[in-house]
Amino acid sequence: MIVAGCDVGSLTAKVVIMNDGKILASPVIRSKPRPEESAKEVMDMALSKAGLSMDAIEYCIGTGYGRAKIPFVDDVISEIACHGKGAQFLLPTARTVIDIGGQDCKTMKIDRIGKLVKFITNDKCAAGTGRFLEVMAKVLGVRLEDLGALSARARAPVTLASTCTVWAQAEVIRNLNEGKSIEDIGASVNEAMAKRVAILANSVGVEKDVYMTGGVTKNIGVVKSLERLLGVKIKKSRVDPQVAGALGAAVFAKERLEGRAI
């Protein structure tokens, strides 16, 4: 039973093709000016990756900002519902998913059947996103991937008082000039990052299991600080939650075909 989900967002478009619960293809492209173009292009890519023709798709659900313009869908469902469904499929025990990307941070809370209970995102302020760590790594003269390990080697971590990336950067420079060690400052950077993320996560209410996704999972210092601040053990996942919406749409399509209620 081959089904598809198509998520046309404002920045990217994604398609997931599934066969009996197995993902065959899940391409992501940058959105074109017109949603129908994005949908066609990403679907063509998915079909060619899966080695299928459009006729093979038995049911397709559209979602995302441009869902009303997707020419080949059988039905549409809101992106919120699809995101929850997709996250639950990828991480069945997850109730809270914290996704930190290079330019944003999202926290979503889902129930046991994958219904999205709450969702909050910060893409307005660089603090609490991967960008914060990028800026600080540059100032400290360490590679981004080495920043996380500094926390464990810190002897007397300093405290950064500023939330704003610009002000915190000035604080880091001041600490460097005062002769504080890279480890002690690095630890404070990771801690400041975790604090900011914890505020966002707490505002949706943190429930176990807590999963973290996105590039910042590689920073062990941030993960440890976040575990301490939230008082939970965090499970890390390498899945790309970017496709969760399209995936959720495909799962809904499968349930439709199976005659299950949504």
Q: Does 144 bind another protein (CB under 8 A)?
A: no
Binding range to another protein, per CB under 8 A, among 72-80, 130-138, 146-154, 180-188: 130-138
Q: Does 138 bind another protein (CB under 8 A)?
A: no
Q: Where are the alpha helices (DSSP H) in 178-215?
A: 182-202
Binding range to another protein, per CB under 8 A, among 22-30, 69-77, 121-129, 195-203: 121-129
Q: Does 181 bind another protein (CB under 8 A)?
A: no
128's CB contacts (< 8 A; 6+ apart) are 100, 105, 122, 193, 196, 197, 199, 200
One of 162, 181, 182, 235 touching another protein (CB under 8 A): 162
One of 88, 165, 217, 237 touching another protein (CB under 8 A): 165
End-to-end CA distance of the chain: 18
Q: Which is nearer to another protein, 78 or 103 (CB)?
A: 103
Q: Which is nearer to another protein, 115 or 167 (CB)?
A: 167
What is the smallest separation between the CB atom of 48 and another protein, expressed in angstroms? 31
d(CA 115, CA 247): 14
Q: Which is nearer to another protein, 10 or 48 (CB)?
A: 10
Instruction: Report how many residues bind another protein under the rule CB under 8 A.
Output: 13
Q: Does 179 bind another protein (CB under 8 A)?
A: no
Q: Which single residue is written with the structure tokens 């079909």? A: 47
Q: Does 126 bind another protein (CB under 8 A)?
A: yes
Within 10 angstroms of residue 212's Cβ, the number of other Cβ atoms is 21
Q: Does 49 bind another protein (CB under 8 A)?
A: no
Query: What 3-state class would DSSP assign to 239?
Result: coil
One of 80, 125, 200, 232 touching another protein (CB under 8 A): 125
With beta carbons less than 8 A apart as the criterion, state whether 14 and 246 touch: yes
d(CA 260, CA 154): 54
One of 166, 173, 199, 262 touching another protein (CB under 8 A): 166
One of 10, 78, 103, 159 touching another protein (CB under 8 A): 103
37's CB contacts (< 8 A; 6+ apart) are none
Q: Minimal CA–CA distance to 250: which of 79, 7, 61, 29?
A: 61
Q: Which is nearer to another protein, 73 or 216 (CB)?
A: 216
Q: Does 163 bind another protein (CB under 8 A)?
A: yes
89's CB contacts (< 8 A; 6+ apart) are 114, 247, 248, 251
d(CA 178, CA 185): 11
With beta carbons less than 8 A apart as the criterion, state whether 20 and 54 touch: no
The binding site for another protein (CB under 8 A) comprises: 103, 124-126, 131-132, 135, 162-167
